Amino acid sequence: MLIAEKLEVWLGRHRILSGVDLRARPGELVVVIGPNGSGKTTLMRALSGDLDYAGSAHLHGREIARARPGDLAAMRGVLPQHSTLSFPFTVREIVRLGLREGATDAGSSIVPAALDRVDLSGFEGRMYQELSGGEQQRVQLARVLCQVWSPVVDDMARYLFLDEPVSSLDIRHQIQIMEVARDFAQRGGGVLAILHDLNLTAMYADHVVLLRNGAVHAEGKPEAVLTDGNLRAVYDCPLSVNRPPAPGQVFVLPHGARGDAGADAAR
Amino acid sequence: MTFADVLSTVQAGRRSDGDRSALARTSIAVLAALLVLSFFFSLASGASDASAWQVFLEAAGLHTGTLQLSDRIIVFDIRLPRAVLGVLIGASLAVSGAVMQGLFRNPLADPGIVGVTAGASLGAVSFIVLGATALAPVSALLGLYAIPTGAFLGGLAITLLLYRVATRRGQTSVATMLLAGIALAALAMAVTGVLIFHADDQQLRDLTFWGLGSLAGATWTRNLMAAPLILPALAGTMLIARQLNTLALGEGAARHLGTDPQRIKMISIVCVAAATGASVAVSGGIGFVGIVVPHLLRLVIGPDHRYLLPASALLGAILLLFADAIARQIVAPAELPIGIVTALAGAPFFLWILLRKRGILDL
């Protein structure tokens, strides 16, 4: 179980997060949304052990800021928003980096399986630096999947931390990657994902945390959080939440496009 | 197998499954065999006309008496310690380069280019010039190891300073690294100059070879001075090879994978300083081996440090033995400092890398 209480993070002289409470249970896909600068990535970095914080953050009872990198790595994988690579590794070599030290024979089947999950079968021999941005993002996800291949190990749920995992993907792969995340949660793992796409959030989240100015503005089930009032207040953008396609599911349509903002005013 | 065959194997390896570990292991085996050949070639090359085969028979104890006594002395008392030192120094320089490049996440980082060698020289010169006066107590305590220790500390100080200056929040700026390296090297050389100004004639003679780098005058004593620093340093780098791979993804991603970046940095810096310091202490500044060798190897076997580091040690040793053979023969019976040979070949190579990858300097 991932539990953060009264989390507060300062970067320089700016308080980025204040009093954030968050719980991510195993088996749940928790999505963090909020406008640019609302503290989503800072929250993810604090929970990944990258930043100092005040308050507390525990993963399976371990204080994250004080845990050793190796112990955290056994409990969770992190997909950062941006990835860099300084030497010409092949796709296979990158994904292999996710395997725990000493994993060899078992690893040979995990690497191709992980690449298959992100729809990159047959890319093993390609040079990472020659891939497109979306392909690189999926290679990195395959590497993270390798690290936490089994969602549950010795009755301990493992976690996937995903910072905008679909930011540079086409619509087909956005769905596919979200399915990977949902599948991981359904098999007993925990998922904490940052998303910008409110419709993907509505479709996949079990629990939504809406951040505003470094604090939690609302949280709960998607239909409870994704409301006209919440979203207009937080994003400062005229929009409305609609309910057609499937019964009970919502979708969000911004009004700016094609002059719909006027329609909003007229209503 | 021709070079074209090797290249096509490399290409095929890339196209299929992207696993270059088998190719890397084969390369290491080939390099090891080449090193043995180069070693005997080195023992046999020089003014005396003992053949490599005769030397091999003698060394193996299979057939004694084919060498004349004078040749035996030349081969076993002069060339053998020199060849062993060449292997040690070549391995040390190439591995130092590869580790530094992994640490700074940049293929242009090299102890010679970013000032670590200059710092090590300063440390060594300090003990040569002040060993009998200001540093006498330390010098007496360390004995044979005073100069290598001084070089180690000098190299360590420069590496730590360089890392402090060039790295912010886990990201190393190449431009800052190279420029800071120039500044630190200039500072170290200036202080070295002050020391040399105070040196007496005998010390000046001892100091001349530092500027250029040479294996001349290699003795078993010199080997004994260098080996206790170089061998543990090389072993230490092999222990962190896997973590250096994760560092290629950036410090953050490396930490997420379970690597402790601070620990890897400290081990890398200490090992590089020890290996470079010991090399400088016994053979002066021999440049460019650390940049040429890992770069060539990455083209063939890829950047996986678990293979790159041992392969670099082997190829570095081979290259240095050849450079030494050239240095001894090109102006025979005199000999060129080996640092001139490596610079003549290595500096154009460095420029070639820059031309191929102009983007590397993107600021």
Residue A30 confidence class, pLDDT cut points 50, 70, 90: very high
In a domain, B31, yes or no: no
In a domain, B186, yes or no: yes
In a domain, B78, yes or no: no
Above 70 in pLDDT, residue B212? no
Above 70 in pLDDT, residue A104? no
Q: Quick check: B18 and A126 CB within 8 A?
A: yes
In a domain, B34, yes or no: no
Residue of higher predicted confidence among B104 and A103: B104
Strands A2-11 and A14-24: antiparallel
Q: What is the pLDDT of residue B75?
A: 80
Q: What is the pLDDT of residue B363?
A: 37
What are the pLDDT digits (tens) for B275-312? Answer: 998 999 888 888 899 999 999 999 999 999 999 999 99
Which one of A48, A97, A101 has the shortest CB-CB distance to B249? A97
Backbone angles phi, psi at A240, to 5 degrees: -145, 150
d(CA A73, CA A143): 13
Structural domains for chain A: 2-236 (3.40.50.300)
Q: What is the pLDDT of residue A101?
A: 67
Phi-psi label, residue A227: left if phi above 0, alpha if psi -120 to 50, beta otherwise: beta
What are B320's two structure tokens? Answer: 């240095």
Cα nearest neighbour of A81 on chain B: B253
Residue of higher predicted confidence among B61 and B316: B316
Phi-psi label, residue A87: left if phi above 0, alpha if psi -120 to 50, beta otherwise: beta
Chain A positions touching B14 (Cβ under 8 A) are 90, 125-127
Q: Quick check: A93 and B17 CB within 8 A?
A: no
Which among B108, B257, B304 is the top mutation candidate for probing chain A, defined by the most A β-carbons within 10 Å of its own β-carbon?
B257
Q: Quick check: A125 and B18 CB within 8 A?
A: yes
State the greatest distance between any 2 C-alpha atoms of chain B, in Å, as a whole number: 65
Distances (CA, A) of A27 to A13, A21, A68, A249: 37, 19, 25, 21
Length of chain B as a residue count: 363
B179-189: average pLDDT: 91
Number of domains in chain B: 1
Write the DSSP symbol of residue B10: H
Which one of B105, B252, B257 has the shortest CB-CB distance to A73? B257
Q: Quick check: B17 and A125 CB within 8 A?
A: yes
Q: Quick check: A124 and B18 CB within 8 A?
A: yes
Q: What is the pLDDT of residue A262?
A: 47
Q: What is the pLDDT of residue B179?
A: 87
Residue B362 confidence class, pLDDT cut points 50, 70, 90: very low
Which among B100, B249, B265 is the top mutation candidate for probing chain A, defined by the most A β-carbons within 10 Å of its own β-carbon?
B249
- From B208's Cα to the closest Cα of chain A, the distance in A is 38
Residue of higher predicted confidence among B12 and A139: A139
Which among B256, B259, B295, B305 is the top mutation candidate for probing chain A, defined by the most A β-carbons within 10 Å of its own β-carbon?
B256
Distances (CA, A) of B355 to A87, A89, B350: 17, 21, 9
In a domain, B39, yes or no: no
d(CA B217, CA B78): 8
Is there a contact between B360 and B174 (Cβ–Cβ < 8 Å)?
Answer: yes
Q: What is the pLDDT of residue A266?
A: 45
Q: Quick check: A80 and B298 CB within 8 A?
A: no
Beta bridge partners of A241: A252
Rounded to the nearest integer, the mean pLDDT of chain A is: 90
B256-267: average pLDDT: 90
Strands A190-194 and A159-163: parallel
Residue of higher predicted confidence among A79 and B75: A79
A62-74: average pLDDT: 94
Q: What is the pLDDT of residue A102?
A: 60
Q: What is the pLDDT of residue B85?
A: 95
Q: Quick check: A87 and B298 CB within 8 A?
A: yes
CATH number, position B218: 1.10.3470.10
Chain B positions touching A89 (Cβ under 8 A) are 248, 302-304
- From B78's Cα to the closest Cα of chain A, the distance in A is 41
Residue of higher predicted confidence among B88 and B2: B88
Q: What is the pLDDT of residue B164?
A: 85
- From A226's Cα to the closest Cα of chain B, the distance in A is 32
d(CA B236, CA B215): 25
Cα nearest neighbour of A112 on chain B: B17
Q: What is the DSSP string of B122-169?
A: HHHHHHHHHTTTTTHHHHHHHGGGHHHHHHHHHHHHHHHHHHHHHEET
What are the pLDDT digits (tens) for A131-148? Answer: 999 999 999 999 999 999
Residue B107 confidence class, pLDDT cut points 50, 70, 90: confident
Chain B positions touching A87 (Cβ under 8 A) are 102, 105, 107, 248, 298, 303
Is there a contact between B353 and B295 (Cβ–Cβ < 8 Å)?
Answer: yes
d(CA B86, CA B323): 9
d(CA B18, CA A115): 13
Which among A84, A87, A95 is the top mutation candidate for probing chain B, defined by the most B β-carbons within 10 Å of its own β-carbon?
A87
Question: Which DSSP helix (H) or strand (E) runs through B246?
Answer: helix B241-247
C-alpha angle with apex A170: A164 to A176, nearest 5 degrees?
Answer: 75
Above 90 in pLDDT, residue B187? yes
Q: What is the pLDDT of residue A247?
A: 63
Identify the CA nearest to B158 among candidates B200, B179, B188: B188
Domain containing B264: what range?
83-358
In a domain, B26, yes or no: no
Tell me the pTM. 0.88
Give the whole-number percent of chain B exceeding pLDDT 70: 86
Q: Quick check: B257 and A124 CB within 8 A?
A: no
What are the pLDDT digits (tens) for B27-55? Answer: 999 999 999 999 988 888 776 666 666 77
Identify the CA nearest to A17 among candidates A34, A40, A36: A40
Which one of A69, A90, A98 has the shortest CB-CB distance to B14? A90
Taking the Cβ of residue A72 and every Cβ of chain B, the question of whether any pair is shorter than 8 Å is answered with yes
Look at residue A163 and give its three-state secondary structure: strand
ipTM for the complex shown: 0.90
Q: What is the pLDDT of residue B6?
A: 59
